[in-house]
Structure 1
């Protein structure tokens, strides 16, 4: 097998090409198979030999940190939209918190503080028997639900923030792997 760094390509010896790059080197089959498994940006030619540039341990850990941050960011988002609990109606109820629910909740809370607002606000929630219904809340109750939702978001963001600090401080892959939601 032959390789051109300039063209970032492999040229089988069994094929007769009309024009070949002037920087061709010959590589053995094992090197060829290894080179196929890496990104071309990790390949170089040094003294006429194909070389796979390995990331340093620091680069490997930094890349793992980036991946871990993305995973935890998704976990934080998933927790925020997974719902929350409030006892604003006297007993504990679960409330939905997907983006549309958040928009609806903000709208009701905003309405509840406006002059001339009514004192009835229907919002979806689930009782302890698993029954979902759009129940009536008073101004104070819907505001209390809003405070519970805000506390829920802040709690998830605090967890995320603490995990980001732990990621930043991690000096080994094992320490990084231990940082989970």
Structure 2
């Protein structure tokens, strides 16, 4: 038998008890009196009005869209600062891309563009090799520029994905379709 616990006109708990159990035997009296027999489809969040269970109104699609896009934007921000790969040093290395890392990369790229650099100019930059070893590795001007360019491409790729996923959210016509869009969705 399905029972719904109702507090202030709202279903806060749903239990399915076999016929051998009685609510009054399981819960203290103050809680037991909050339970009512309910149809199988009742869920937490339904209203209880005039001794009848009423499903909640359908969510406003604009609110669902705004919430989903906000969630996607948060995931995008994490992806941007989650690092990226570049073969600026000849083989793939992983570069950090937190906010400070991006500022450091911009400073290094800017320094590499200054006039009259010595031919052997290099700047150290933190990166991880294919073996998982992080080190402060020297980068020639062209190498740091390539690593910086790859970092920028990573950011633009994340932003482009967010724009495409947001467009998918905006064109979805049901809450389920909107909520089905996540960072890994095909676009």
TM-score scaled by length of structure 2: 0.66
Query: Could you tell me which residue of structure 1 aligns to residue 127 of structure 2?
Result: 125
The CA distance in 2 between the partners of 1:98 and 1:150, in whole Å, is 13
Among candidates 34, 46, 54, match of residue 9 of structure 2: 34
1:149 aligns with 2:124: no
Query: Could you tell me which residue of structure 2 aligns to residue 26 of structure 1?
Result: none
Among candidates 133, 155, 159, match of residue 161 of structure 2: 159
The CA distance in 1 between the partners of 2:106 and 2:69, in whole Å, is 29
Q: Say which SS state the counterpart of residue 97 (structure 1) adopts.
A: coil
TM-score scaled by length of structure 1: 0.68
Q: Say which SS state the counterpart of residue 134 (structure 1) adopts.
A: strand
1:135 aligns with 2:137: yes
Offset from partner CA, 1:32-60 (integer Å, 9 cap, x none): 8138x9xxxxxxxxxxxxxxxx9964x62
The CA distance in 2 between the partners of 1:131 and 1:117, in whole Å, is 30
Q: CA deviation at 1:117?
A: 3.5
Q: CA deviation at 1:112?
A: 0.7
Greater share of helix residues, 1 or 2? 1
Unpaired segments ≥5 residues, structure 2: 1-5, 13-54
The CA distance in 2 between the partners of 1:163 and 1:55, in whole Å, is 28
Query: Root-mean-square deviation (CA), in Å?
Result: 2.1
Any residues of structure 2 matched to 1:53-92 within 5 Å, and which?
Answer: 57=58, 60-92=60-92
* Compared CA separation, residues 139 and 33, structure 1 to 2 (3 A): same
The CA distance in 1 between the partners of 2:116 and 2:135, in whole Å, is 26
Q: Which moved more, 1:112-121 or 1:97-106?
A: 112-121
Aligned length: 134
Unpaired segments ≥5 residues, structure 1: 1-29, 38-53
The CA distance in 2 between the partners of 1:34 and 1:63, in whole Å, is 24
Query: Could you tell me which residue of structure 1 aligns to residue 170 of structure 2?
Result: 168
